[in-house]
Amino acid sequence: MTVDDRPRITQFWHPVASVAEATPGPIGVTLLGRRLALFPSVDDHIVVLDDVCVHRGAPLSLGFVADGCVVCPYHGWRYDADGKCVAIPALPPDAHIPAAARATHHRSEVRYGLVWGALDEPVAPIPAFPGDVECDARFRGGHWTTFEWNTSAGRAVENEMDLAHFPFVHPFLLADPQRPEVLDYNVDVSPERVLVRAGRARYVEPGQTLGPGYTEYMHVFPYTHHLRIVETGFDVDHVTVISAFHCPSTASSTRMWWFIHRNFVPDYSEDEELAMFLKVLEQDRIITESVRPEAIPPSIRDELHVRLPDAPSLAFRRWLEGIDLGCLATD
């Protein structure tokens, strides 16, 4: 594949907002450096247009929604769900509206309570939850929390597959700093994802052990991560799936929506579980926001890797080399 044949990062679905944020709308968001305006249509689809009025460049997201259209805040031009201008208030009612009076329209879908947008014809589906969450009626859960980090989506999602940072960034929470070696683990790479299966990752006091089970880390390209924790020793394995969908806003800013699903009723406090998770993610935020450059460098050779601990991120970086990252490579 030549460089010019590579799929573009604009050819993937990315989450851009929650439906709740976009309703009643309009709201402005940034995807791949591009300002977008979101608002609900009359049939409750969430419309995604470029956040710029073709008249004088005002942001449509500062306007208001009326009858499934967005009304520009400057001179009141009204754009429908296809981006077509259907009213110019300064003209007489029967005046012709020029065909060029359109806002650029982008494809959008609603999935998991999130609005997904794609700026070009998608080459991959909207990422799904792992198969058992989708198919097993025992699973319960949903949206957990949302973050906005000052780093790239690549750095953020790569951190979630990085087992070597646990003893240093999360000492006595996820790992023991006295035992930093990454033990052998299984890595399976396909064109769509990296799947890592490792032991259960959590710190326990010396002399104690975790119950039996394993952990799977699945990175679906480009920016989705699933952590699947399996505790065995029950009639039915206890499975917890924590998922993160990342929006690559710019090369140095990322929004992420976290979900949790499980197939059992926990005998521990879910509030305490969330508090620990937030503590862990705050530790991750501080270190990933400090990394330079904010974007993952364009070539694998631009940073140094060690084979076993960095195997998942190497697979991701090989995949990234086959993608035209556009504005993400040069913010």
First-to-final CA distance of the chain: 25
Contact string 4-43 vs ligand FES (x = CB under 6 A): ----------------------------------------
81 binds ligand FES (CB under 6 A): no
Strands of 193-198's sheet in order across: 140-149, 253-262, 238-250, 224-231, 213-220, 193-198, 186-189
311 binds ligand FES (CB under 6 A): no
| Binder among 80, 158, 216, 284 for Fe ion (CB under 5 A) | 284
| Binder among 6, 35, 45, 55 for ligand FES (CB under 6 A) | 55
- Rounded distance, CA 132 to CA 228, Å? 10
74 binds ligand FES (CB under 6 A): yes
Least distance from C-beta 73 to ligand FES, angstroms? 7
The item of Fe ion, ligand FES, none sharing an interface with residue 58, based on CB under 5 to 8 Å by kind, is ligand FES
- Rounded distance, CA 293 to CA 52, Å? 30
Instruction: Name the one range near ligand FES by CB under 6 A: 48-56, 110-118, 283-291, 300-308.
Output: 48-56
53 binds ligand FES (CB under 6 A): yes
For residue 321, give the H/E element and its range. Answer: helix 311-321
Instruction: Name the one range near Fe ion by CB under 5 A: 5-13, 110-118, 265-273, 276-284.
Output: 276-284
Token reading at 282: 């705050």
Task: Encode burial over 79-112: b for 16+ CB neighbours within 10 A, e otherwise.
Answer: bbbebebebbeeeeeeeeeeeebbbebbebbbeb
The CA-based dihedral angle spanning residues 13, 16, 17, 19, taken in that order and rounded to the nearest 10 degrees: -40
Least distance from C-beta 53 to ligand FES, angstroms? 3
10 Å Cβ neighbour count for 262? 18
Number of residues that bind Fe ion (CB under 5 A): 1
The item of Fe ion, ligand FES, none sharing an interface with residue 97, based on CB under 5 to 8 Å by kind, is none
- The residues binding Fe ion (CB under 5 A) are 284
- The residues binding ligand FES (CB under 6 A) are 53, 55-56, 58, 72, 74-77
